[in-house]
Structure 1
Amino acid sequence: MKKIKSKDFRITKKISLKDIPTLNMLDSNEAELEEKLLETREKLGEFQDVLYAHGKYAVLICLQGIDTAGKDSLIREVFKDFNSRGVVVHSFKAPSSIEKKHDYLWRHYLALPARGKFSVFNRTHYENVIATRVHPEYILSENIPGIDSIDDITDEFWKMRFEQINNFEKHIFQNGTIIFKFFLHLSKKEQKNRLIRRIEKKDKNWKFSPGDLKERELWDDYQVCFEEAINNTSTPYAPWYVIPSDSKDAARLIVADIIFDELKEYKNIEEPELPEEIQSKLNEYKNQLENE
């Protein structure tokens, strides 16, 4: 199996998505990919226990991708060995009436992980520079001063949002949140195949919506917005990783390996030691219990 290196997927310069492959099987078959994922996710589960005990860092996993890119199943498979109390998944839909009374980042602040825990954002604050950019009319419902029509939403507005998002991520990073941002890079052909499967398989019908086809017609617009968001917000403290996702098995393994390889570089994340006065009396406490 080809070794997975974070740097091969991390975005450190401007990219064009059309130049990045959507399939990378890592010179392996599906059975080998699944077996390696079992190993990696077990290591991640063990790391999560240590992170919780250490209690000084939090981890935020951000997943973005076009419809059918595999976000839900990736979450299910990659985080299977976590203590359920150590990871929280947030799926951000259209903002509620209460959320619209606050700035667009407010609900994302509320969902940030506590120290010692992981949070997974299934769709993220980047919807505010992707979906809203494809559908700028959504911005009008935010009731922003000075934005009274679509004509008021200029290129400068989007540059401002990119800067706000970078500042948001820098702030939480500086306060102990380790950030991973994954774009699940899917081909238009594979999306078509997955949508057809949703229609053909009865147990997948519930996932299909005619709206999926309307959004598919805007494929090129979405690709431009994904690309510009990645190019404007991949930073050393919150890098983007573009993950070839035509194979769900390969994408899951690549994401899991990147998370584990980057986290193990934090050598200061370790289980705390017991105070010396307690450590020196462990045998005494053990005897006390045994002699009850």
Structure 2
Amino acid sequence: MKNLNVSAHKITTSVTIEDLPTRLDLEASKKTIEDELKDIRKKLGDLQDTMYAHGKYAVLVCLQGMDTAGKDSLIREVFKDFNARGVVVHSFKVPTELERKHDFLWRHYIALPARGKFGVFNRTHYENVLVTRVHPGYILGEYLPGIESVDDIDSAFWDRRFEQINAFEKIIAQNGTLIFKFFLNLSKDEQKNRLLRRLNKPNKNWKFSPGDLEERKLWPKYMKCYEDILNRTSKEHAPWYNIPADDKPTARLLVASILLNALKEYNDIKEPELDDEVKAKLSEYKEQLRTE
């Protein structure tokens, strides 16, 4: 199998979304790729156990992508070997009435993982500069001061929102949250194929909504917004990674590899040692158990 150059997928300079690949050829069979993923996700699961005991870092995994990009199945396959206590997945839908009574980041803030745990955001706070830019009327539902109509939502509004997102991520990073943001970059042709599969398989019909086709018509607007997101919010403490998503097994392996490679760089993540007094009495404790 071709070696994965995970650093090549990190967004470090200004990008044009049309130039970012949607497919990565690893020159390997599906089984080979899946076997490699099994090995890496086992290592990730073991690492998370150590992080749980260490208790100083949290990991936030953000997944963004167009409909059918493979977010749900990626979560299932990458985190399959995690202890259930160690990973929490949040799928953010349309904001509730309570959520709309707070600022747009509130529901994301309260869903952040505790130290020692992984949190996965399936769709993220970036929906607030993605869907809302394509459909600015949604902003009116936030009841913001000074926003009475769509005409009040100008470029300065979006600039402030990007500043708020960057500040949010900087604060949590400075307080021990390791942030990974993955853009599952799906081609329009592949989305068409996946939507057709949903329609052709009766057990997948429930995943389809006519609204999917309406959103598909807005593809150029979504891509323009994604390009802006990648260029304005990929920071060293909160980087974006372009994940070619036309092949699901490859996308899963790439995400898992990026996580493992980056987390292994934190040499301070280790299981806490027993204090000297307890360590000195280990033989005594073992004998107590043997003779009880």
Instruction: Give the match for residue 154 of structure 2.
Output: 154
Instruction: Give the match for residue 27 of structure 1.
Output: 27
State the Cα distance separating 1:159 from its structure 2 match: 1.1
- Taking the aligned partners of 1:27 and 1:5, their CA distance within structure 2 comes to 14
Instruction: Give the match for residue 243 of structure 1.
Output: 243
The Cα offsets for residues 207-251 of structure 1, whole Å up to 9 and x where unpaired, read as 001110000010111000111011100000000001000000000
- Taking the aligned partners of 1:6 and 1:263, their CA distance within structure 2 comes to 13
The Cα offsets for residues 236-288 of structure 1, whole Å up to 9 and x where unpaired, read as 00000010000000000000000000001000000000011001110100000
Letter of the 1:91 partner, please give it.
Answer: S
- Calculate the TM-score normalised by the size of structure 1: 0.99
- Which segments of 5 or more consecutive residues in structure 2 lack a partner in the other structure? none
* Structure 1 stretches of at least 4 aligned residues deviating more than 4 Å after TM superposition: none
1:67 aligns to 2:67 (yes or no): yes
In the alignment, is the contact (CA less than 8 A) between 1:91 and 1:122 conserved in 2? yes
SS of the residue 1:7 aligns to: helix
Q: Once the two structures are aligned, what percentage of the paired residues are identical?
A: 63
State the Cα distance separating 1:26 from its structure 2 match: 1.6
Instruction: Give the match for residue 216 of structure 2.
Output: 216
- Taking the aligned partners of 2:259 and 2:211, their CA distance within structure 1 comes to 33
The Cα offsets for residues 183-211 of structure 1, whole Å up to 9 and x where unpaired, read as 00000000000000000111111100111
- Taking the aligned partners of 1:227 and 1:20, their CA distance within structure 2 comes to 10
Number of residue-to-residue matches in the alignment: 292
SS of the residue 2:241 aligns to: strand
- Calculate the TM-score normalised by the size of structure 2: 0.99
- Taking the aligned partners of 1:206 and 1:110, their CA distance within structure 2 comes to 30
Instruction: Give the match for residue 272 of structure 2.
Output: 272
RMSD of aligned residue pairs (Cα, Å): 0.6
Instruction: Give the match for residue 86 of structure 2.
Output: 86
1:281 aligns to 2:281 (yes or no): yes
State the Cα distance separating 1:25 from its structure 2 match: 2.4
- Taking the aligned partners of 2:18 and 2:138, their CA distance within structure 1 comes to 27
The Cα offsets for residues 152-210 of structure 1, whole Å up to 9 and x where unpaired, read as 11111111111110000000000000000000000000000000000011111110011
Letter of the 2:37 partner, please give it.
Answer: L
SS of the residue 1:265 aligns to: coil
State the Cα distance separating 1:5 from its structure 2 match: 2.6
- Which segments of 5 or more consecutive residues in structure 1 lack a partner in the other structure? none
